[in-house]
Chains A and B, each alone.
Chain A
């Protein structure tokens, strides 16, 4: 107990005393965490956007028209589709509904439909999936079915989209890891500088017979404090900015359907604070290491 309060007193005393170094370290942590947080927010937002796009991948199953399938056959297929766990929702579009849609699409030129004597459009199922990545598997199940004419799911578009989203996620992950390393190096360097300025102090502590841990604790507490405070301010800035930007974007670019809750605030806060504390502590430990030898 006496020891802990001694360490705390030492740590906060020297944070105050070496305020210039404290500020330098704080700014370094702050900037690193702002960049890291910015990337995190970007990752979450694009991820949400991509998910939204992915969700638009759906399967359309066109049924044969000559002859049209019986109501019974349609009902059997409907049951089958809804029984698959991959399927989120499905709807049956009758021939009439299909024609109606087409007419709506070409409402400007109704003359196209004047020559129609019968309805040439096929009935179809439109299927939305739980996981858009399963589109291949689900589509394949219709192959060879006697009442199915054609299965369309924009295979190429879907494949390209998935390839792109996978790659985008990987890139971001690599970027985040690299950024974390850079932040640790930067901070341990700053802290090393501040410790270098206090080399004499450490030397005296060792001469008086302080153990390495006795010397280390106040420095660790300092590092953790700086990391936490820097990360706290950075988190507030990043999330505040995100909140503001999302609001502006969704006001002005309504068509983007910006997912407002894309960024999990609590999770991001916890991650950023944890990263701040870890790099603060790691920076102190790494910075102190060479001075503790002998």
Chain B
């Protein structure tokens, strides 16, 4: 699903984003990306969705070499990657339903079927009754569930979550985690960057630890810290 080969990213003038990172994430895996702030987690994610480009090395996502990806094709890459962020990134002027619909309309799918799909996915994340609410009328956990619904409505093969529980209390976080877990069960690869030690320790999934832009640990069923 994801393949990094000797990838280096330097932010001018000389801040190291990632340094010689090589790793391979299989289809259907659930992977935690851990590490302190500035360790390279965000750089990793931004490279994956081609927000930035690496200086050296190769990145292959879903069989596509991002280096040779034409810029007009980037939107199509992103439609195959669902993204969930710490700050939810919802369009504040649209209802929960419209936010989910937006991801469908963008792909040219504004039919009756897609409306049904959007309603279904909102029900799936437990927000069927709040589909007409605007983001500022929803709690943090609810907003995050809308954003997950939006990320998953196209059934992308890859879902990236950047600190999705960073702003949420432990109980709400647990709900979000369960949601991501269920999404993973459908065969979608899930990559989650997080600071949430307890969560990582509880889930016992693959853990990739970054520090100073380097992979310092890659463990099949790891915890947040060294075992």
- Bound CA–CA A277/B83 (angstroms): 37
| Of A2, A201, A209, the contact of B91 (CB 8 Å cutoff) | A201
With most chain B CB atoms within 10 A of its CB, the pick from A208, A214, A294 is A208
Main SS of the interface on chain A? helix
Q: Does B107 contact A (CB under 8 A)?
A: yes
- Bound CA–CA A293/B72 (angstroms): 11
* Closest partner residue, chain B, to A5 (CB atom): B110
Please count how many residues in chain B sit with their CB below 8 Å of the partner chain's CB atoms: 24
Are the C-beta atoms of A204 and B91 separated by less than 8 Å?
yes
Min C-beta distance of A291 to chain B, whole Å: 13
Are the C-beta atoms of A207 and B78 separated by less than 8 Å?
yes
With most chain B CB atoms within 10 A of its CB, the pick from A204, A212, A214 is A204
| Of B51, B75, B111, the contact of A209 (CB 8 Å cutoff) | B75
Are the C-beta atoms of A209 and B106 separated by less than 8 Å?
yes
**Known: A3-B108, A294-B52. Contact between A209 and B89, CB under 8 A?**
no
**Known: A2-B110, A3-B110. Contact between A209 and B103, CB under 8 A?**
yes
Min C-beta distance of A200 to chain B, whole Å: 8
Are the C-beta atoms of A6 and B75 separated by less than 8 Å?
no
In the complex, chain B residues whose CB is within 8 Å of the CB of A6: 105, 110
**Known: A13-B93, A14-B93, A294-B52. Contact between A208 and B110, CB under 8 A?**
no
| Of A203, A208, A211, A294, the contact of B102 (CB 8 Å cutoff) | A208
In chain B, positions 79-131 with a C-beta closer than 8 Å to chain A are 79, 83, 89-91, 93, 102-103, 105-108, 110-111
- Could you pull out 16 A-B pairs where Cβ atoms are within 8 angstroms? A2-B110, A2-B111, A3-B110, A200-B89, A204-B91, A206-B78, A208-B78, A208-B102, A209-B75, A209-B79, A211-B75, A212-B72, A212-B75, A214-B75, A294-B50, A294-B51
